[in-house]
Every structure is written in structure tokens, then in C-alpha cells.
Amino acid sequence: MDALDAILSRRSIRQYTAEPVPEEAVRTLLEAAMSAPSAGDERPWQFVVITDRRKLDEIPRIHPYAKMVQEAPVAILVCGDERLEKHKGFWVQDCSAAVQNVLIAARALGLGAVWCGVYPREARVAGFRELLGLPPEVIPLALVPVGWPAEEKPPGERFDERRVRYDRWERTG
């Protein structure tokens, strides 16, 4: 699948088969994440790959919209590391780009994935800190459950010309 096909056909997948995700595929997802652009090439990210079934089953207690992780064989927690920042505050953008790369790479590999936001919800941040022993300077941004899809979703038509301006802001409609 080429990059544009992966981008345009990517959907949030919340149902997975029981088939495990190979370690090589997880490594490819992490390589894609770390290929994301970042401010000043600071790469302020850290990743926690979660495969422990007990931990995966605990996550919905922390994140009420991440129940699908109980079916997923693996989840990747994308975190920002304030110790690695050159440009304060840009870790959110940098790590968001890393999350998007994981989602697109998952689609290209035939995997399903979904973005579950963690930061800036303090209760979620605290819950992941406790569950995974994160140090205070490592801030969980997003959880990405990953697995072989047990559902199919057609590509969505999301382009909306009304949201585009050229050269200056002009009211539309």
C-alpha cells in the first residue's frame, strides 16, 4: 500500500482478532513514529510498548474510552520527555506527529489502530504514571491500541472545501 492510500484509507479500528502482532511489526511502528518531524529535531518522545495482558486490562479503569485495549494484543503509549526539549512546549506537536505516523504505518501493514488521547486529562496522566511507573518528566500523550482488525470500515470522505481559505481569511457560506 502506498503512503497516500494508507493516509486516505486510515480509520479508527476498535475491534481486533486474538492473533498476536509480531515483534517486527511493532518495531516498524516505532521506527515510523521516530521518523516524525520534531521542532529543532529534538525528538522529545519516549514509548512504552504494553503487551502484559493484566496491564492492558487495567487501562479502561484509567481511560474510559479505551475499552478496546482489552481486545488488543499490544498498545503503544506515546510520551513526551521534558528532559529532551529544546523548544519548550513543542513536545505535544512532536509526539502528535509520532502518533499519526504509527496510525498510518499500522494501516500500511494491514493492522488496525486507534488514537486514545491521554494528555491533558490529569486523571489519565496520573493513572498511566502509576500503572507504568513513568517518571515525572515523562508525560503520556496518547495510547494507541494495535491489533489485526476484526472490523472493516470504508474510507471516509473527509475533505471539506468550506474549511479552506487561500491567501487570507474570508467568510464562507
Which CATH number covers residue 22? 3.40.109.10
DSSP structure class, residue 144: E
Q: Is residue 166 part of a domain?
A: no
Q: Is residue 169 part of a domain?
A: no
- Which residue matches cell numbers 482478532? 17
- How far, in Å, CA of 113 to CA of 41, rounded? 26
Domains contained in the chain, number = 1
Contacts with 130 (C-beta within 8 Å, 6 or more apart), sequence order: none
Domain hosting residue 67, numbered range: 3-150
Q: Return the C-alpha cell found at 80.
A: 513526551
pLDDT range class, residue 57, cuts 50, 70, 90: very high
Q: Is residue 159 part of a domain?
A: no
- How far, in Å, CA of 172 to CA of 29, rounded? 39
Q: Is residue 172 part of a domain?
A: no
What is the pTM (predicted TM-score) of this model? 0.95
Q: Is the confidence at residue 173, as pLDDT, over 90?
A: no
Q: Return the C-alpha cell found at 110.
A: 494491514
Q: Is residue 35 part of a domain?
A: yes
State the average pLDDT for the chain: 96
Q: What is the mean pLDDT of residues 98-125?
A: 98
pLDDT above 70 as % of the chain: 99
Q: Is residue 80 part of a domain?
A: yes
Position 170 scores a pLDDT of 79
Q: What is the mean pLDDT of residues 133-161?
A: 96
Residue type, 43: R
Helices (H), 10-161: 23-34, 53-62, 91-108, 122-132
Q: Is residue 51 part of a domain?
A: yes
Q: What is the mean pLDDT of residues 52-63?
A: 98
**Among 99, 112, 95, which Cα is nearest to 146's?**
112
Contacts with 93 (C-beta within 8 Å, 6 or more apart), sequence order: 38, 39
Instruction: Read off the pLDDT of residues 13-49 as tens digits, 9 standing for 90 and up.
Output: 999 999 999 999 999 999 999 999 999 999 999 999 9
Maximum C-alpha span of the chain? 53
Q: Is residue 156 part of a domain?
A: no
Any idea what the Cα angle at residue 80 is, between residues 133 and 91, rounded to 5°? 165
- How far, in Å, CA of 88 to CA of 82, rounded? 8
